């Protein structure tokens, strides 16, 4: 796959933990747990960071509405239109790094010890949001922009390694949400619009506009089957657990509450030979360590099923 070039200073810190090489970015705020060269899985934990160094500034709850556009910079606008139209999100997706690590362990255990690549942002979302365009991500703070570029540099590095030999790559962007009591899986298809999940069958002709285009090409499965059939990720998780997932055979569409079809990361990276999911994990699946591990292992088993049968 072809990826844009991002220049990042090379004075990164290389460490090893439990046999895994950990690269810490020059800012010290992005970590890349380097996966095995045989791995075709890249996992991102973008929103569970807690660090808020003052020199990186703070993002505002909203941008400024200006002639039909939302502008995100060092100016904080409090007028009603700006607050309502240009809102952004500052909250942490708690425990999603823990889920990411359990998920990676499960995938490694199911592939003979081949560890996925993991990219972690330790800077708080109140400071940078690496799943937004850079203006909304940083509100114009140059230091936050450095971290933003570091994150995307390491994602690109990982995807490049995983895609070697023209392999199909699985990009998993792990997030959390509080607006739906079910876990939502985003594939760049909307919920209740005419060409969204509301359709009885989502046609294969829409595959190029989703994050599953490559899998439709190589798997022999229809787009609708991959989105919400029995062998979909949601279907596989639900078939052997108490967890509910959208989309899936039991929940083909979100009938109430939040549904997010995927963000900038999915748009940017689920191209060419890369497929991707933005997993918005509900509160109940993140509540305790035992539940997080249970959900992560079920999610990992579903990923392993796809790797074995569809890649």
Assess if CATH 3.40.50 describes domain 27-49+91-309: no
Q: How far is CA 48 from CA 93, 126, 130, 211, in A?
A: 5, 11, 11, 23
Angstrom distance (rounded) from CA 276 to CA 283: 22
Q: Which of 91, 155, 87, 159 is nearest to 121 (CA)?
A: 155
Angstrom distance (rounded) from CA 101 to CA 108: 10
Angstrom distance (rounded) from CA 168 to CA 274: 6
Contact between residue 132 and residue 91 where contact means Cβ atoms under 8 Å apart:
no
Looking at residue 14, what is its pLDDT? 64
Looking at residue 2, what is its pLDDT? 41
Given the structure tokens 């509160």, which residue do they identify? 283
Looking at residue 98, what is its pLDDT? 98
Angstrom distance (rounded) from CA 112 to CA 173: 23
Name the pairing type of β-strands 169-176 and 69-71: unpaired
- Phi, psi for residue 278 in degrees, rounded to 5: -100, 110
Per-residue confidence of the chain (311 residues) as pLDDT tens digits? 444 334 344 456 666 666 789 999 999 999 999 999 999 999 999 999 999 999 999 999 999 999 999 999 999 999 999 999 999 999 999 999 999 999 999 999 999 999 999 999 999 999 999 999 999 999 999 999 999 999 999 999 999 999 999 999 999 999 999 999 999 999 999 999 999 999 999 999 999 999 999 999 999 999 999 999 999 999 999 998 999 999 999 999 999 878 999 999 999 999 999 999 999 999 999 999 999 999 999 999 999 999 999 99
Per-residue tokens: 299 = 């999610």
Looking at residue 258, what is its pLDDT? 84
The ranges assigned to domains in the chain are 27-49+91-309
Looking at residue 169, what is its pLDDT? 99
β partners of residue 276: 171
With vertex at residue 75, the alpha carbon angle to CA 70 and CA 81, rounded to the nearest 5 degrees, is 40
Looking at residue 18, what is its pLDDT? 63
Angstrom distance (rounded) from CA 310 to CA 121: 30
Looking at residue 16, what is its pLDDT? 63
Looking at residue 8, what is its pLDDT? 46
């Amino acid at each position: 796959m072809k990826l844009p070039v991002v220049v990042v200073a090379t004075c990164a810190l290389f460490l090893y933990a439990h046999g895994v090489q950990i690269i810490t970015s020059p800012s010290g705020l992005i970590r890349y747990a380097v996966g095995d060269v045989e791995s075709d899985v890249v996992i991102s934990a973008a929103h569970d960071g807690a660090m808020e160094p003052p020199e990186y500034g703070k993002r505002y709850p909203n941008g400024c509405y200006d002639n039909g556009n939302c502008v995100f910079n060092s100016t904080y606008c409090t007028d009603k239109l700006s607050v309502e139209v240009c809102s952004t999100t500052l909250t942490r997706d708690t425990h999603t790094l823990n889920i990411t690590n359990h998920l990676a362990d499960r995938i490694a255990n199911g592939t003979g010890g081949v560890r996925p690549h993991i990219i972690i942002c330790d800077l708080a979302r109140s400071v940078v949001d690496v799943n937004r365009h850079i203006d909304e991500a940083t509100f114009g703070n140059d230091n936050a922009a450095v971290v933003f570029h570091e994150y995307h540099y390491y994602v690109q590095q990982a995807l490049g390694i995983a895609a070697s030999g023209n392999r199909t790559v699985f990009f998993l962007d792990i997030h959390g949400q509080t607006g739906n009591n079910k876990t939502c899986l985003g594939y760049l298809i909307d919920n209740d619009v005419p060409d969204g999940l509301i359709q009885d069958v989502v046609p294969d002709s829409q595959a190029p506009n989703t994050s599953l285009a490559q899998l439709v090409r190589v798997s022999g499965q229809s787009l609708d089957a991959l989105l919400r059939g029995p062998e979909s990720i949601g279907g596989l998780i639900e078939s052997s657990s108490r967890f509910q997932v959208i989309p899936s055979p039991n929940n083909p569409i979100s009938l109430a509450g939040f549904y997010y079809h995927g963000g900038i990361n999915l748009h940017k990276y689920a191209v060419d030979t890369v497929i991707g999911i933005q997993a918005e994990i509900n509160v109940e699946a993140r509540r305790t360590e035992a539940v997080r591990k249970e959900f992560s292992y079920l999610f990992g088993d579903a990923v392993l099923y796809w790797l074995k049968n569809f890649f």
